[in-house]
Amino acid sequence: MPSFLPILAALVTFAVSLTAVSPIPAVIDIVVPPAFDLHTVSPSFVSLSIEQDRWTDWSGTTSRNEFFYNVMENLKDLTGSSPGIRIGANSEDRTDFNRAVQYAEDVFPAPNPTTPYPEATHITVGDGYYTTAKYLLPDTEVIWGVNFGKKNLTAAVLEATSIMRAFSGPDISNLGISLKYLEIGNEPDLYMNNGLRSGDYNVGQYVTEYLEFVPSPLKRIPHSLQCLRWSDFANVIFQEIELNTTSTRFLAGAFAGSSSNLNGFSPQAIYNLGITESPAGEYIAAFSEHHYQGSFCSGSEGVLSDLMNKANIRGNLSQYASDIQATHAQGLEYIFGETNSYSCHGAPGVSNTAGAAIWALDYMLYAATLDIQHVYFHDGIGFKYNLIQPVTLTRSILDGSTLPSPLSPHVQPQYYAGIVAAEAIGKSGNTQISELDIDDPQISGFVFYEDYEEKRMILINHTPYFYEDESAGTQRPVTDVRINFPKHCGGTQNIVVKMLEIQHSDDTSGVTWGGQSYDTSDGLVKGSPFTGTVALNESLGVPASQAALVVFECS
């Protein structure tokens, strides 16, 4: 670290018009964090988790899904790095392998108003299912889950071997697409609730099973799938396809929650039980946590204003601080391997709205300041909280009713949060982030650095503004922000501003970024880009339920 660290000498002054009868606006002075309080953020920080049962709908089978490819490429164009893809979730523990199956055969339950697009109850896949990863963007890093729930070693070996074989083949490897992690089961801390283990299943049993599943490379490697022991798992798949064991690693955890202590399911507990100190520990490179802001599993209504709330976001994420610290102390990556707004596919009128984009933008950026190294936003076909709907839908995502006409592939409002974050992260490959210390319950902000110089800033207004507010004649609140210039900018006389424009928090479409729309038939951006400038001592207005990207273009 250099001895002299340029600090954004600017103070950010917020003049907030509280009510029509308040003649004197509140003024809040904020000092931008010094450049030594920074957190590295990966270019592929914003990534996607995909429900395994209908993976080939996303990828394509005999040809790629152009819409999905395009919307992923939009993100890569902004950061220079392909978003990561995790394929798994509930259906990974319902998957079996049969080489006679070309791609996948799924068995689905009937849809219902709470779950319009239910996950498959059983999936059988063949080799072709895994080779469809060739339709991902070049250089994509993939996490793929195998069935741990059934505790059937032969099934797991067959799946993992097929996965590894696919990724070692030229169709995938020549594109730089790689298998970053194998995920061993989905949310084992819930196994005692869903019938996959006994009711007294505990973290000690999980570690014992996991260590049998991911073995020491020092043991003799069998060449037959007959009479396998759990401790043969990794050795079999690595030997069968003649891969170097350093090419792929394993995730630990993938827990639905964390006790953050030694007694329940948590990273601290599994480390205390020796999971990383065992011979299998050399295969483990990351701990995966799953997290949602709330639950819609019983059909209870979510509240959009609660989802968007700045304090709620911080409370929901800061609870993992000790888990993150414990994981990094083990030399492991800590990721949110599955995350989104409300679990069980999202809450109608909340997860699919423009206000959810405000939540997602603040959520992912705040997660980066906690040293969570990747966030994988979970998506499935027809799920309410999707960033992307990659295929034509014939049922409503809200209640399962038949649509009057088919709904073509499209992005949902949360996708814009990924676009804004990607543009703020940029292409340097060496971006760091720090949160602004803003003592205002409705305003959050983040500064992005490259080589310890301030390059960009995101400002987010969490205040909801609903369609009924406008209909009632309520004026949309606007926060005025005055930004002084970084000292290192020299003769700069203005800053460039780009706005995430949302008409109403409860809208489900019509969002634009810098005047452009990604809600197009092919997923490619449409419209002329629009940016504004703010001169020294002028103020920038950030309307309720909108966000701004500020770019310091130093002269």
List C-alpha distances in Å: 526 to 394, 425, 508, 520.
26, 22, 18, 7
Tell me, what's the pLDDT at 156? 85
3-state secondary structure at position 449:
strand
| Alpha-carbon distances of 282 from 257, 329, 332, 522, rounded to whole Å | 25, 15, 11, 43
User: What is the Cα–Cα distance from 545 to 555, expressed in whole angstroms?
Assistant: 32
Kindly write down the DSSP assignment for every residue of 199-222, as one continuous string: TT--HHHHHHHHHHHS--TTSPPP
Distance in angstroms (rounded) separating the CA atoms of residues 384 and 400: 11
Which pLDDT score, from 0 to 100, does residue 549 have? 96
pLDDT, mean of residues 518-545: 89
Write down the pLDDT at residue 364: 98
Tokens of 506: 């409860």
Q: What is the pLDDT of residues 198-257, one digit of tens each?
A: 999 999 999 999 988 775 332 333 333 334 444 455 555 555 544 443 457 899 999 999
19-36 CB burial, b ≥16 within 10 A, e <16? eeeeeeeeebebebbebe
Q: Which residue is associated with the tokens 């990383």?
A: 276
Average pLDDT value for residue range 120-146: 97
Ramachandran class of 70: left when φ > 0, alpha when ψ lies in -120 to 50, beta otherwise: alpha
Q: How many CB atoms lie within 10 A of CB 99?
A: 11
CATH number listed for the domain at residues 46-425: 3.20.20.80
Provide the pLDDT for residue 213: 78
Instruction: Note the pLDDT tens digit of each residue in 138-189.
Output: 999 999 999 999 888 788 888 988 998 999 999 999 999 999 999 999 999 9
pLDDT in tens, 402-426: 999 999 999 999 999 999 999 999 9
Instruction: Give CA separation, 321 vs 324, 328, 333, in Å.
Output: 5, 11, 14
Domain ranges (residues) in the chain: 11-40+431-551, 46-425
Mean pLDDT (whole number) for 256-280? 94
What sign does the dihedral 70-72-76-77 (CA atoms) show?
A: positive
Q: Is 324 helix (H, G, I), strand (E, B) or coil?
A: helix
Mean pLDDT value of segment 383-402 = 97
Predicted confidence at residue 68, as pLDDT, reads: 98
More confident residue, 91 or 437: 91
pLDDT above 70 covers a percentage of the chain that reads: 85
- Average of pLDDT values for 82-98? 96
The mean per-residue pLDDT over the stretch 506-532 comes to 96
Element (H, E) at 358: helix 354-369
* Alpha-carbon torsion angle 509, 512, 516, 521, nearest 10: -20
Of 61-65, 110-114, 278-282, least confident by mean pLDDT is: 278-282
DSSP 541: E
The per-residue pLDDT for 235 is 58
Asked whether residue 100 carries a pLDDT value surpassing 70, the answer given is yes
pLDDT the model gives residue 84: 98
Q: Order of strands across the sheet with 104-107? A: 95-97, 122-125, 104-107
How many other β-carbons are positioned within 10 Å of the β-carbon of residue 114? 16
Over residues 433-447, mean pLDDT: 92
pLDDT, mean of residues 75-79 = 98
* Architecture of the 11-40+431-551 domain: Sandwich (2.60)
Contact between 183 and 286 under an 8 Å Cβ cutoff? The reply is no
Specify whether the CB–CB gap between 344 and 115 falls below 8 A: yes
Predicted pLDDT of residue 242 = 47
Quote the CA–CA distance of 262 and 214 in Å, as a whole number: 22
pLDDT at 31: 52
The pLDDT score that the predictor gives to residue 402 is 96
What dihedral angle (degrees, nearest 10) is formed by the CA atoms of 154, 198, 122, 376?
A: -90
- In this structure, of 13-27, 113-127, 273-287, 363-377, the range with the lowest mean pLDDT score is 13-27
Give me the DSSP letters along 360-397. Answer: HHHHHHHHHHTT---EEEEE-TT-TT-SEE-S-EEE-T
- For 28-41, the pLDDT digits (tens) are 444 556 667 899 99
Separation of alpha carbons 431 and 45, rounded Å: 11
Q: What is the model's pLDDT at position 218? A: 28
The more confidently predicted of residues 267 and 227 is: 267
Give the separation between CA 339 and CA 343, rounded to whole angstroms: 8
Q: What percent of the chain has pLDDT over 90?
A: 73
Based on the number of CB atoms within 10 Å of its own CB, is 44 exposed (0-12), middle (13-18) or buried (19 or more)? buried
Give pLDDT, residue 119: 96
Residues 442/338, Cβ–Cβ less than 8 Å: no
**What is the distance between the alpha carbons of residues 357 and 371, in angstroms, rounded to a whole number?**
21
Tell me the pLDDT band of 489, cut-offs 50, 70 and 90: low
